[in-house]
């Protein structure tokens, strides 16, 4: 992995961590059920991008 890919992977890990915390909070409150699915979609997209970076 080059320097740019490592930096992108680090940013994605932080984003996934942040989204996971938001998802936990959204599940506790359930004010907006669509928010939970949106956050889950964002997390899966970020994880997919991270795995693509790792595999390249």
Q: What is the mean pLDDT of the segment spanning 1-11?
A: 94
Q: Concatenated DSSP letters for 23-51?
A: HHHHHHH-S-HHHHHHHHHHHHHHHHHHH
Which residues does 7 contact at the CB level (< 8 Å), separation at least 6?
none
Per-residue pLDDT of 13-55, as tens digits, reads 999 999 999 999 999 998 898 999 999 999 999 999 999 999 9
Cβ neighbours around 19 below 10 Å, total: 21
Q: What is the pLDDT of residue 3?
A: 94
Q: What is the pLDDT of residue 30?
A: 86
Q: What is the pLDDT of residue 20?
A: 98
> Where are the domains positioned within the chain?
3-55
8 backbone dihedrals φ, ψ, rounded to 5°: -65, -40
Specify the residue for token string 């930096």: 7
Q: What is the pLDDT of residue 43?
A: 98
Q: Which two tokens stand for residue 41?
A: 């979609």
């Amino acid at each position: 992995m080059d320097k740019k890919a490592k930096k992108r992977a680090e940013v994605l890990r932080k984003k996934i961590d942040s989204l996971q915390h938001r998802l936990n909070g959204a599940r506790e409150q359930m004010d907006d059920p669509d928010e939970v699915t949106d956050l889950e979609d964002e997390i899966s997209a970020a994880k997919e991008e991270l795995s693509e970076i790792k595999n390249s």
